[in-house]
Structure 1
């Protein structure tokens, strides 16, 4: 997969290294000469250019990208990059980084953003995850599909403790995508049983989030 990342700051470089380690092709774009340093992310391609300019994106051959990540520290830049990638180059998937919470509502399909990643929201979610069991934590939003990635840590008094995944009647518009247990990532096979302390990751519509919480942790979320 070919990925273009606009913004070669700490966030952009970290994401680039992860993608390279997983075997993907990565191009980093930044207009600051001081940010262009091939030694910091070996294996990546680099382009000194303004990602908000159409000519720069043409030079990057963005039409050949599978994913564009707008990861700069400027929300306006991230919106423009996402919009140009989607409308001018028909990039299949765009990911937009939100730096300021008040701008989160702008990162929508109208601006070409498929996946919104809000740094403040993620930090808040991680704090909530660390101190709560049975509460649903929204990690991020898929704007194009109007769904969210949410997490719930299964309490030890859940009525579904020990039950097979395939025997649970999940709400509509809800998909259990992973179970995190003892530092392992488990696939939610129908025969796998649920254990107390499991971190359950769901993709769900916003309307179904409360139903998930009431299903798995009714004591914390009475109807």
Structure 2
């Protein structure tokens, strides 16, 4: 997938790294020269300038992007970028800095697909908001390990199986199971797997797409995910003008 991120500060650059590590194509827009240089030194393509300007977004090839993440500390810049990105048919993710503003933007901004607070969610939350989909990441355990919660769908190959019949890749294991609207518990072998039930799985990043195909029914290799990260990072900078 291809992403355009507005802002190459802490939030933007961390998000870019995570997306890049998963094989996605990322272009950053940044107006601060030193911040842009840092991102370039890490191998990223950077367009210099104000991400709220359509000409800059066009330079970043917004027309080819799957999603645009407006991740600066400037709310006006972020909202303007989302307005433009929506015009080009992109998924839009808007960073805000004050929780009370979320209700306002959800009520009046149909162009915004997801509103995030990086101070709570961090790069993983921003990344997963950009991806969209059907999987909820709970935590990164190590560099290549992640705990995810997956909801079984009607199309899932395992729908109708039992826990004992479930065969995941070697680098994945079930940690917990929950019936639809029920609590998560340690699974038992004879539990039936039905649409709406949830599995919590520890998996290597390399096999996550295979796990997704088995449990959710999505095509192997698809990277879409609906993830609300429960981890937080220390990121309280609120610089304006395209940084952070």
Shorter-chain TM-score: what band? 0.5 to 0.7
Partner Cα separation in structure 2 for residue 23 and residue 159 of structure 1: 32
1:78 offset after TM fit, Å?
1.5
Q: Which runs of 5+ in 2 are unaligned?
A: 123-127, 139-148, 150-174, 178-182, 216-224, 228-244
- 2:4 touches 2:65 (CA, 8 Å); kept in 1? yes
TM-score (ref. length: structure 2): 0.53
- Taking a change above 3 Å as real, the CA distance of residues 175 and 55 of structure 1, as seen in their structure-2 partners, is farther
User: What's the counterpart of residue 157 of structure 2?
Assistant: none
Tell me, yes or no, if structure 1 residue 98 matches structure 2 residue 96: yes
Whichever structure has more strand as a proportion of its residues is 1
Partner Cα separation in structure 2 for residue 165 and residue 63 of structure 1: 49
SS in 2 for 1:99: coil
- Taking a change above 3 Å as real, the CA distance of residues 64 and 40 of structure 1, as seen in their structure-2 partners, is closer
User: What's the counterpart of residue 179 of structure 1?
Assistant: 200
Structure possessing the higher relative contact order (Cα contacts under 8 Å, 6 or more residues apart): 2
Partner Cα separation in structure 1 for residue 190 and residue 115 of structure 2: 29
- 1:20 touches 1:43 (CA, 8 Å); kept in 2? no
Tell me, yes or no, if structure 1 residue 162 matches structure 2 residue 187: yes
User: What's the counterpart of residue 79 of structure 2?
Assistant: 79
- Segment drifting more, 106-115 vs 96-105: 106-115
1:98 offset after TM fit, Å?
2.1
User: What's the counterpart of residue 47 of structure 1?
Assistant: 47
User: What's the counterpart of residue 116 of structure 2?
Assistant: 117
- 2:93 touches 2:113 (CA, 8 Å); kept in 1? yes
Partner Cα separation in structure 2 for residue 154 and residue 13 of structure 1: 33
SS in 2 for 1:73: coil
1:161 offset after TM fit, Å?
3.9
1:116 offset after TM fit, Å?
2.3
- Taking a change above 3 Å as real, the CA distance of residues 97 and 175 of structure 1, as seen in their structure-2 partners, is farther
TM-score (ref. length: structure 1): 0.57
- Taking a change above 3 Å as real, the CA distance of residues 63 and 181 of structure 1, as seen in their structure-2 partners, is closer
Partner Cα separation in structure 1 for residue 129 and residue 34 of structure 2: 33
- Taking a change above 3 Å as real, the CA distance of residues 36 and 159 of structure 1, as seen in their structure-2 partners, is closer
Q: Which runs of 5+ in 1 are unaligned?
A: 124-139, 191-201, 205-223
The alignment covers a number of residue pairs equal to: 168
SS in 1 for 2:28: strand
User: What's the counterpart of residue 141 of structure 2?
Assistant: none
Partner Cα separation in structure 2 for residue 55 and residue 73 of structure 1: 21
SS in 1 for 2:43: coil
User: What's the counterpart of residue 12 of structure 1?
Assistant: 12
Residue by residue over 1:183-222, the C-alpha shift from the partner in whole angstroms, topping out at 9 and shown as x without a partner, is 99984867xxxxxxxxxxx979xxxxxxxxxxxxxxxxxx
1:52 offset after TM fit, Å?
0.9
